[in-house]
């Protein structure tokens, strides 16, 4: 397959072909997403929780994001790669945001960046896109602002709320975003926003009227222990955690019973050499 570029994304959008986006946080998860044919692989700051065990995304540092971006980028041979600007790396001024974005390209080796926010982030998005760095917008529920939202709340559930999400969408489009993530918004609202835009919407918890979808890889592959909270919009397509647990338990049992390693897992030594050694 050919390397996915912004031209690929644009022509898919024109043809109405859904755009598939998945997160990855290291070389193996980037590799499998790439082989599976994801057009965009996103190094989301959700890796704070799913890869680093942090409480929320506010804790992850720019340098930590860069390390993960580098490992995913080495794996994503075909997909277009995007890295999430973490909280604190872009809000102060457009110049700060551009500096962070440049580090993502030069050190993280990704091809574009994502940042959260609507109208208020338009000058920042403009600054970055003008420098030639593709920006993926992110509106609706923006998890980096969970404290201000009073938790993870569906956005656009009132007519004013829906209008606010639409205005944010139009603002990030005008600022130069190549696409925009729309998170946790009623299906009808996201569908109408998609109709009004001339760039792709990438939905998460926003229904099937968007131009594409994005999910967090560990969520959709079921690579988490039972009992973890998973949002309503996640579909669990696999049970990777249970598979890993089964494998590790079998290794434990076979090691305890000495049935592992078996003959086929060992290295031979010529008989004469062994006899000499044993003497």
Rule CB under 6 A: which residues touch ligand KIV?
23, 42, 44-46, 84, 181, 204, 214, 216
Give the nearer residue to ligand KIV in terms of CB position, either 46 or 71. 46
In the residue annotation, 275 being an active-site residue is answered as no
Task: Say how far residue 90 (Cα) sits from the centre of its chain.
Answer: 18
Residue 195 Cβ vs Na ion, minimum distance, rounded to whole Å:
25
Return the one option of Na ion, ligand KIV, none that residue 216 interacts with (CB less than 5 to 8 A, by type). Answer: ligand KIV
CB 105 within 8 A of CB 65: no
Which residues inside 21-60 make contact with Na ion, applying CB under 5 A? 44-45
CB 223 within 8 A of CB 196: no
- How many Cβ atoms are within 10 Å of 45's Cβ, its own excluded? 28
Helix or strand holding residue 199 (H, E): none
Interaction between residue 84 and Na ion (CB under 5 A): yes
Residue 253 Cβ vs ligand KIV, minimum distance, rounded to whole Å:
36
Give the nearer residue to Na ion in terms of CB position, either 44 or 134. 44
CA 189/CA 161 separation, integer angstroms:
10
Residue 144 Cβ vs ligand KIV, minimum distance, rounded to whole Å:
9
CA 160/CA 191 separation, integer angstroms:
16
CB 125 within 8 A of CB 154: no
Nearest to ligand KIV by Cβ — which residue? Answer: 44
Catalytic residue (choose from 183, 188, 264, 273): 183
Which residues are catalytic, by number? 183
């Amino acid at each position: 397959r050919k390397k996915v570029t912004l031209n690929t994304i644009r022509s898919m959008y024109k043809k109405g072909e859904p755009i598939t986006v998945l997160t990855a946080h290291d070389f193996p998860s980037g590799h499998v997403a790439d082989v599976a044919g994801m057009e965009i692989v996103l190094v989301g700051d959700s890796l704070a929780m799913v890869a680093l065990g942090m409480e929320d995304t506010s804790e992850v540092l720019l340098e930590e994001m860069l390390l993960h971006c580098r490992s995913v980028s080495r794996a994503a041979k075909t997909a277009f790669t995007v890295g999430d600007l973490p909280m604190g790396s872009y809000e102060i001024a457009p110049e700060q945001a551009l500096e962070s974005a440049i580090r993502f390209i030069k050190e993280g080796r990704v091809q574009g960046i994502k940042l959260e926010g609507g109208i208020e982030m338009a000058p920042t998005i403009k600054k970055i896109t003008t420098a030639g760095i593709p920006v993926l917008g992110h509106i609706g529920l923006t998890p980096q602002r969970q404290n201000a939202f009073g938790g993870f709340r569906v956005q656009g559930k009132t007519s004013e709320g829906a209008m606010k999400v639409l205005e944010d969408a139009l603002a990030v489009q005008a600022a130069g975003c190549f696409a925009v993530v729309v998170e946790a918004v009623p299906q009808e609202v996201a569908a109408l926003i998609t109709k009004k835009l001339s760039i792709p919407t990438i939905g998460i918890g926003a229904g099937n009227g968007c131009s594409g979808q994005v999910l967090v890889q560990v969520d959709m592959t079921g690579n988490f222990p039972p009992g973890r909270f998973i949002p309503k919009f996640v579909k669990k397509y696999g049970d990777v955690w249970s598979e890993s647990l089964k494998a590790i338990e079998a290794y434990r049992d076979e090691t305890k019973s000495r049935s592992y390693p078996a003959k086929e897992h060992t290295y031979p030594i010529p008989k004469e050499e062994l006899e000499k050694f044993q003497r």
